[in-house]
Chain A
Amino acid sequence: MLLDAIVEQVIRAISGGIDTADSRFDGSYIEDKIHEYRILQLIASYNGTRYQAKSRFIHYSYYQNFDISRIERVQDVNVNYVKFPCPSPANISDKVDGLTFVGNRSKNYSWSKIQSPEQVSQLVKLGLMDTNDIGYFYDGQFLRLYGNLDLENVHVEGVFQNPLDVPDFNPETDNYPMPDDAIPMMIEMMKRMEFNQMVQTVPDYIADGADTVTNATLRNNKR
């Protein structure tokens, strides 16, 4: 399903089918919320909730993949890694993040994830980085690749915080990366956690200076 169609579904679900002049539910705002709740819905299904058993499975539809080529001007000097720009991955559980495959371009060999800069130091001291193994660490903007300074290309597959940040993703032609059957659950979650309260609150069109209605009256919905 395309992103626009999901936005439309969400707006209709929360406004009850009534077209209002209320600008709280405009498209770009709802799009941002869909990116957030897509990940929250995945976390709920992967780890389980009070009402849902954990699945420990990331549905294929969530994945996006792309190749990154080396860019010389972003490289740091006198360091033992090479950098590749990468969008921010989702955080799914304590040991699983959105980067499910970082490896060579032929997509048959993945490299090992490094959890923190401190772990690099540990690995060097333990001699685990002396072999031909390549490790990667995501620093918030770039993938740092340790173990081979001559790397030219990296293939990445994973789940990303904002699917629109992924290179070559076109929201007008590409399906939004989540399974269709998870969309109703995501909308329910959005309504429950966010929009119910907003829908129930009456819009305030009167400037505060000219408003004679007290907060107590507002709270009791007695305008």
Chain B
Amino acid sequence: MYATYDYVSAGTLLQETKMELDLLDTTSLDWLLKKYLKDAMGELQSIGVVKSKIAEVEICDLKAKLPCDFIRFNQPNGIRLQNGEYWFYPRVVNGAEWYTSPQYTWSSWAVCTVLDGYIFFSSDLNDLGIAYDRVCLNYQAVLTNENGEIIVPKSHKRACIAYAKWKYAQTYHEKVPRDIRAEWNREWSLGKQWAKAIANMPDATQKQMIYRVMNALF
């Protein structure tokens, strides 16, 4: 159904990549290709690929699992620790002091560090007298559809597939001739530039504003 929408899902990209690589009898390379597509989406960070989200996760043994679509925290106050009606904002996140409203942070210097899909809290979290067992996250997330699959703008499709094919060719270099590998690399470079250019083009509202300005000028 991707042909009717402006976004395509990671699943669609995977199937299209497999078709182009003639991988019709197996799913054993799916994970590898999914990783390459995920890497390509990461490299193509641009307008319209991320959105702000809020999630609440449980703290267990001074750590909390980050949502799978997490990219980075929104600043300020991207993290809020909670226990029922009690809550506060930690002051130091990933080694940097975040600006927060002083009256909510004076009680703690809890330090948060993001590592390998988890957020770790310093042990002084336990010294507060209140057991904070949940953390509310305000973060930048990758776009997902209703099935939880990552989706990207259709303009990124060509570049993502070219990247996955190029990386596949590097891994299985004996199966793909050198000139084809180079061609896929070139396709990725051009596709990346094209996708970024499309992402930076004015949207409908901006176009209308430009039109009005030009009308006023002439």
CB pair A132–B27 under 8 Å, yes or no, is no
Q: Does residue B28 face the partner (Cβ distance < 8 Å to A)?
A: yes
Q: How far is the CA of A131 from the CA of B22 in the complex (A)?
A: 26
A residues near B116, Cβ cutoff 8 Å: 125
User: How close is A10's CB to chain B, nearest CB, in angstroms?
Assistant: 28
Most buried by A among B27, B28, B35, B116: B27
Q: In the complex, are the beta carbons of A95 and B68 less than 8 A apart?
A: no
What B residues does A126 contact at CB under 8 A?
35
Given A95-B29, A100-B26, the answer on whether A132 and B147 have CB atoms closer than 8 Å is yes
- B117 contacts A130, CB within 8 Å? yes
Chain B residues with CB under 8 A of A148: none
Check B25 for interface membership: any CB of A closer than 8 A.
yes
Mark interface residues in B11-43 (1 if CB within 8 Å of A CB, else 0): 000000000001001111111001100100000
Knowing A58-B25, A100-B26, A127-B117 are in contact, say whether A135-B149 is a contact too (CB < 8 A).
no
* Contact (Cβ within 8 A) A95 B28: yes
Q: Main secondary structure on chain B at its contact with chain A? A: loop
Q: Does any Cβ of B come within 8 Å of A151's Cβ?
A: no
Say whether B149 contacts A123, CB under 8 Å.
Answer: no
> How many residues on the A side are at the interface (Cβ–Cβ under 8 A)?
25
A113 lies within 8 A of chain B by Cβ: yes
Determine whether the beta carbon of A113 is less than 8 Å from that of B68. no
CB pair B117–A113 under 8 Å, yes or no, is no
Complex partner residue of A132 from B22, B28, B148, CB under 8 angstroms? B148
Are B68 and A127 interface neighbours, CB within 8 A? yes
A113 in contact with B26 given A119-B31, A127-B68, A127-B117 (CB within 8 Å): yes
- Asked if A96 contacts B31 (CB within 8 A), the reply is no
Task: Specify which chain A residues have a CB less than 8 angstroms from the CB of B150 in the assembled complex.
Answer: 131
Interface 1/0s, chain A 101-118, versus B by CB < 8 A? Answer: 010000000111111000
Q: Which residue of A lies closest to B117 (CB)?
A: A127
Q: CA A97 – CA B34 in complex, angstroms?
A: 20
A112 touches B148 (CB 8 A): no
Interface contact B149-A115, CB-CB below 8 Å: no
Query: How far is it, in angstroms, between the C-alpha of A133 and the C-alpha of B117 when the chains are bound?
Result: 18
Known pairs A96-B25, A96-B26, A100-B25; A114 contacts B31 (CB<8 A)? yes
State whether A123 touches B68 (Cβ < 8 A): no
Give chain A nearest CB distance to B41 CB in angstroms. Answer: 13
| Per-residue interface assignment for chain B, residues 31 to 67, with 1 indicating a CB less than 8 Å from any chain A CB and 0 otherwise | 1001100100000000000000000000000000000
Pick the residue among B22, B31, B148 that contacts A128 (CB under 8 A).
Answer: B31
B26 to A95, Cβ gap below 8 A? yes
- Cα–Cα distance between A177 and B127 once the two chains are bound (Å): 69
- Which of A95, A96, A100 has the largest count of B CB atoms less than 10 A from its CB? A95
Please state if B25 and A110 are interface contacts (CB–CB under 8 Å).
no
How far, in angstroms, from A180 to B147 measured CA to CA in the complex?
Answer: 44
The residues of A that contact B31 with a CB separation of less than 8 Å are 112, 114, 119, 123, 128, 135
Give chain A residues whose Cβ lies under 8 Å from the Cβ of B26: 95-97, 100, 113
Contacts of B35 in A (CB 8 A): 126, 128
**How near does chain B come to A148, taking the closest CB pair, in angstroms?**
12
Residues of A within 8 A of B25 (CB): 56, 58, 92, 96, 100
* A125 vs B150: C-alpha distance when bound (angstroms): 19
Residue of B nearest to A115 (CB): B28
Across the two chains, which residue of chain B brings its CB closest to A158? B25
Central interface residue in A97, A119, A133, by most chain B CB within 10 Å: A133
Given A96-B26, A127-B68: A132 touches B34 (CB 8 Å cut-off): no
Question: How far is B26's CA from A128's CA once the two chains are assembled, in angstroms?
Answer: 19
Residues on the A chain within 8 Å of B68, using CB: 127, 130-131
Given A96-B25, A115-B28, A130-B117: 17 more A-B contacts, CB < 8 Å: A56-B22, A56-B25, A58-B25, A92-B25, A95-B26, A95-B28, A96-B28, A97-B26, A97-B28, A102-B27, A125-B116, A127-B68, A131-B148, A131-B149, A132-B148, A132-B149, A135-B31
Hey, which bits of chain A sit against chain B, CB under 8 A?
56, 58, 92, 95-97, 100, 102, 110-115, 119, 123, 125-128, 130-133, 135
